[in-house]
Each structure stands twice: as C-alpha cells, then as structure tokens.
Amino acid sequence: MKRLIYLTLALSAIVVSNTPSVAGILTLSGVYQGKNLYVQNPFTGNMKDFCSNDVYVNDVKLSVNIESSAYEIDLSHLKVNDPVTIKITHKDDCKPKVLNPQVIRASSSFQFSSFTVDKSVVIWATKGEKPKGKFFVEHFVNNTWVIVKELAGKGSVILNNYDVESHHHSGVNKYRAKYLESDGQVFYSPVFEYSSDLAEVTFYPKRVTDKIFLSREAEYEVLDQYGNIVRKGKNKEIDMTSTGEGVYYLNVDNKTFKLYKK
C-alpha cells in the first residue's frame, strides 16, 4: 500500500513540474494593417526554457513555434482594418517583447493644417488631435534640432491654434514642430525657413582673462575642449573668471568660435 502511495506522489510531482508557469499576459490591441508581428522571446531564469507559453489572436490560440529566441505572429488570416487583440501568456520570471507594435496601431487622423514663423512668434494649427498629446517646437542650431518649447496639446479633433515665442539668430532660421501622441506616434510639421534681419553677433576678446563681451544680447554656450558645457545663457557678457586656462568653444548666433582662456 505504501509503495502505491509513493508511486502516486511521484507521478503527481512529474505532472506538476511539466505544467507551464503562467505569471502574466502581455496584451496588445489595434487594427490589422497587413503586417505580421515579431516577438523577442527571452529565456526564463533557469536559462533553459523560453518565456512565452501560448499566443492568442482575438482569443483564438495560434500554433506558433515559441521554442526560440524570436518568433513571428502570422496575422494574414485577418482582413485589413479588422480589429485585433494579441495575448501572449508567459512565465513568471520573464516577459516577451513585441518588436514592432506600431504595425497594428490605428491610423491617426492628426495633421498640421499650417505652420509659419514671423519676426516674433512661431504659429501653427492642427486637426485631429488626441487627448494627452504634446508639442515640441524645434530650432535648427549648430547642425542640431534643439527643443525651444514644449507644451501640451489642446486635444480637439476640429481645430487647434498655437503660438510660441521665436528664438531667431541672424540669417536664415529653420523651425519645425513635433507632435507626440500618447501612444507614441510622432508627426512633424514641414520645416519653415525665416530670414532674420538681426545683426550678426561678434565678440571680444579671443584671449579671455575674465569676461567675453558680445555685440548684442544673444543665447550662447561655452564648451571646453572635451565638449562639456561650462557656460550657458542669454546675455551680452559671459563671465569666465572661474574657468581654468585652456581652449574653449563659443556657440553663438548659429556659429562656433574658438577662444583661449589665459
């Protein structure tokens, strides 16, 4: 009788050890747009088993080879614009990652209706915004798009108007706006060029003892020879008394100048 009990317990242990441990469900919903999903499938903590257990599309279990570090979820049985929900059950010490979730995101109705710049402001209008969107106004300075203003979107699907202060340097300025939806989709306005009549900024001296003097108030950055910013602001004077001797670079008025601190 005892041998029967031991045998029953042993068989039970085998069954339990072979049962997948389901700790969570990764869910992704959207609209089928003709493309399949690809999943990164890491090892569990024991470095022997893969993370995913089962894959469901619209609550129907798919036959997917999950015994690999990556696999494809075939959605070709769906029709374009069909709603789709993906569920991936996984073990308790890992989590699979969908590599291209954007392919089932619904197409956005967002658009920039206009984007323009004048002497003092950047102005734009939009349609089709979603709640919790954000705008970033960017200015092309020293060969890099620099964010000069961040603001929350108004969220109306009909019409939204915006304006923010411009940050012109002399000569031709380039501006654009970036719109970031809450689901991660990004939209850019056309780039607008504005020719400013501001006088070019000059400075002195090139061999600095204590201060750098600019010909007019302007935004500036002073970098050391390693590219670290040591001074930044907007003024006509730049205090350099506490910086050490050596080579520095002055970024001002969309130009870069080399100078020396004595």
CA dist., res. 13 & res. 9, Å (int): 6
Residue the block writes with tokens 């003092």: 120
Count CB-CB contacts under 10 A for residue 249: 16
Tokens read off for 168: 């012109």
Split the chain (262 residues) into runs of 10 and give each run's mean pLDDT. Answer: 39 36 79 91 91 94 92 92 90 93 80 96 95 96 94 94 96 96 88 96 95 95 94 95 95 95 90
Q: Which fold has domain 203-261?
A: Immunoglobulin-like (2.60.40)
Query: For the chain, what's the residue count?
Result: 262
pLDDT at 237: 96
> One fold for both 111-196 and 203-261?
yes
Tokens read off for 124: 């734009």
pLDDT at 106: 66
pLDDT at 80: 81
β-strand pairing of 134-141 with 171-180: antiparallel
pLDDT at 107: 65
Using DSSP's 3-state secondary structure scheme, residue 156 falls into coil
pLDDT at 18: 39
Asked if 156 and 132 touch (Cβ cutoff 8 Å), the reply is no
Count CB-CB contacts under 10 A for residue 16: 8
Tokens read off for 230: 């040591």
pLDDT at 184: 81
pLDDT at 177: 97
Domain ranges for the chain = 19-104, 111-196, 203-261
CATH 2.60.40.770 fits 111-196, yes or no: yes
